Amino acid sequence: MVSNAFLRGRAELFKMLKPGEIITPELEHMIDDVYGGRGKRALEAVKGRRVIKRGKRWYVRGKGDEYEVVKYFCTCRDYVMNITTEKADVDMCYHALAKTISETLGAYYVIEPEEG
């Protein structure tokens, strides 16, 4: 279970994330404060244009693979091993956070046609 401190920080962060906004240094700092290393990696994925939307499906290219993200759920090992088991004091892996940031801001993602 995530801590109350995390939940408060997350609520403040998501108040700052608004459609059409840009990633400011203040927003970057807030993401880092709330999500730590996962936040830094999420920002790198967003800025590196590694968040992809294919049709209605979202993917994030990680270090070694591409992961599908549905809402806050991800196919990566970190999500399965640390988020679902509540070993981490956060509610998302960095892939899901990167997708959420990109989707909320309505920017930075690459739109590709749906395959097949």
Write the DSSP assignment of 36-89 as a string of letters.
Answer: HHHHHHHHHHHHTT-EEEETTEEEEE-SSSEEEEETTEE-SHHIIIIITTT-SS
Tens digit of pLDDT for each residue in 60-110?
999 889 999 999 999 999 999 999 999 999 999 999 999 999 999 986 667
Asked if residue 82 lies in contact with residue 36, where contact means CB atoms within 8 angstroms, the answer is no
- pTM, two decimals, is 0.92
Token output for 91: 């509610």
77 Cβ contact partners less than 8 Å away, ≥ 6 residues apart: none
pLDDT class of 116 with cuts at 50, 70, 90 = low
pLDDT of residue 96: 98
> What is the tens place of the pLDDT at every residue in 12-67?
999 999 888 889 999 999 999 999 999 999 999 999 999 999 888 999 999 889 99
Q: What is the pLDDT of residue 7?
A: 96
Q: Distance between CA atoms of 40 and 31, rounded to whole angstroms?
A: 8
